[in-house]
Structure 1
Amino acid sequence: MRAIAYDEFGSADVLHLRDLPDPHPGPDTVVVRVVAAGVNPVDYKVREGYLQGLIDVDFPAVPGWDVAGVVEQVGLDTPELQVGDEVFAYARKDTVGGGTLAERVAVPVRTVARKPASIGFEEAAAVPLAGLTALQTVRRSGLGEGSTVLVHAAAGGVGSFATQLAVHAGARVVGTASEPNHPYLRELGAEPITYGAGLVDRARALAPDGYDVILDYVGGDAVETAGELLADGGTVVSITDARARDELGGEYVWVRPDPDDLTALAGLIDAGAVRVEVAQVFDLADAADAHRAVETGHTRGKVVVRVG
């Protein structure tokens, strides 16, 4: 099969299109014919070697955890799925190696769910990691009807989903984004503010009594300034900074694969409560450029690679 792989840590230049053996299903695994694969910031951080000690990499490594495609083979004990099922998955395994930037990928059934019927494969490939991160952070924040919520990087891959989920839950949402993305955030139901110098004053002006929940998807000063912006009893949740948990008593979240959560997201998408924003679509041969696009940190929504 054709796949993108790398043999050493480094820049996007180490990614090459090559021929690799087809994967085989384990007892609780299905082989998915990949139609599209999502690209996430963690993919380039693993590729550059930043997560050594946290995630082992088996060379030659095929990157990618997000996938949408069609079940082609099933394992010995996978009653949840059949050949021909259209699925999507956050196909994270214990090591990085046989990833989703390939024509076929072996996917544990504990990571996979049926694709939302109302969207195509490219949109579906944009959902798993970012959508699950948003869903699990929103849930652990405890926000609900009437909460006032500040979402950092609200127009990004995770932030776009979190903004919509918070609005759907009945919260008032203020989201940080660059000026060109303010109309987009208004479409999602949020009140946009510009990040950068003066952010604390701008955020406080919109919520003088503070925010019940702050969701950090960007890092930097987001957690440092949270103490100035939280309401009494408020909670900060971060995917980038453990100080949210260790110093502020909030939550530090590393997203988990969960087929039930993916099914819940699919239901919200099919019901029209959540929309999927795809920033760019690249062909498999251009996957290195997809990685470079994500590395800029300025994409609205998600970057996707078209495979099948």
Structure 2
Amino acid sequence: MEPRTLARAATNGRTITVFGGTGFLGNRIVCHLRNHEFPVRIASRHPDVQLQSVAANIHDERSVANALVGAYGAVNAVSLYRERGGETFHSVHVEAAPLVAAQARRAGVERLVHVSGIGADAASPSHYIRKRGEGERAVLAEFPDAMIVRPAVMFGPDDAFLSTVLKLLRRLPIYPMFGRGRTRLQPAYVEDVAEAVARIMARAETHPTVFEFGGPTPYSYEQLLRAIAHQAGLAPLLIPIPFAIWHALAWACEILPRPPLTRNQVELMRIDSVSSPEMPGFAELGISPQSIEEILQRMLANRG
């Protein structure tokens, strides 16, 4: 049998329900699962019959249960990076995530992948990171065999990270840094993370594992800015700005309906986000992660 035929035989009929399947990471996960020959069902608030999707609200038990009927596996790629009204870090990561896990267990789902984030810690002083950690605990309490995936900050052609930094570097000859630019980051390419999730679903091992996915290179924030600027042919003057000033600016911004900066985002920039060498990651899945320089070169080339 050809490898492709073997993959099809192994995955045919094993439907995977992807919650958050229309998001930045989720839609890539859908594509990579399909590349591995999995039938995919996208659970979305706004279903599209052409995309084999079903209506689902992760806060609603019945709609979640309906989305999981007959599924072999499930991926919860729903995330929230900025609180808005009733959509809070607690409601999404601590309440809705275990609801998905509980319904997956009741539906007889064999494999659940829960997407969290590097550094998730229920004891963290950061509200966001603390809720991520509490969410992991709650998911495992409902589905003890769940696989936890913790990506570092992700980048890609239509992201909110690399594209934003590049845009600001082009507009600002003097670039204000968070603090002294010493926070450590290890950005991961979104396609690599999506492929990793697909391989977790396809692999034979089923024991619960926490994976951490960071890119090939850890940077300080200042080093990362300089690497991005260099690829784009820019030479900005990087100026350190104390975190106290950023906090005050974010507090003022939060008065706006769609604040460009929040205190939570500022707090996250004080915390290192790098994968632990003690945790399984891309290497265990046979993936060589692509660097931010490689992807940025392609992005710049495609823009002409």
TM-score range, shorter chain: under 0.3
TM-score by length of 1: 0.24
Q: Which has the higher helix share?
A: 2
TM-score by length of 2: 0.24
Q: Which has the higher strand share?
A: 1
- Structure of greater relative contact order (alpha carbons < 8 Å, 6+ residues apart): 1
